[in-house]
Amino acid sequence: MSAFELRGGVLHCEDVPLPDIAAAVGTPVYVYSTAAMRSNVRALRDAMSELGDPLIAYAVKANPNAAVLATLAGEGAGADIVSGGELLRARAAGIPADKIVFAGVGKTRDEMHVALQAGICQFNLESGDEAETLSEDAASMGREAPVGFRVNPDVEPGTHAKISTGAATSKFARGR
């Protein structure tokens, strides 16, 4: 059974007719299926079961809705964040710090400091400058920062310029 299906010409989410939701709260409204989210996390985890217990990290920027994050946290999912605000949202939703990866360009020193204090799983660094900033802060705290590096291979994929991120001329090629 799909989480969203037509029944007698009326679209339902799980067992709730969407017109009932619209009548109760007005429109526009976003409707999410907890069952579908849980099912998708379980299916992904099952598909990767041979890898042991890999971190499944939801990109919070895709939808920072607290209920969505809490549902995913309940299934053991982590979070891929790009800001201090997203760190706070993920933690408030019940995602443990050790299941949070901090990616994205433009991390501030303060954001990295808070994430380091929280004990996140990993920082994905975008530049040498960012690595130096994080290293200085970690050293001042007597900590090691778990990191991964985004490497630009300088490859032109021949696709649309707005989605080509591997070339030296892309927005991700800045920094040292």
Residue 82 neighbours by CB distance under 10 Å: 19
Q: Which CATH superfamily is domain 32-144 in?
A: Alanine racemase (3.20.20.10)
Per residue, what are the HEC states of 96-152? Answer: CHHHEEECCCCCCHHHHHHHHHHCCCEEEECCHHHHHHHHHHHHHHCCCCCEEECCC
Bridge partner residues of 11 (DSSP): 6
Note the pLDDT tens digit of each residue in 106-162.
899 999 999 999 999 999 998 899 999 999 999 999 999 999 998 877 787 777 777
Give CA–CA dist 38/56, Å, rounded: 13
Q: What is the pTM of this model?
A: 0.86
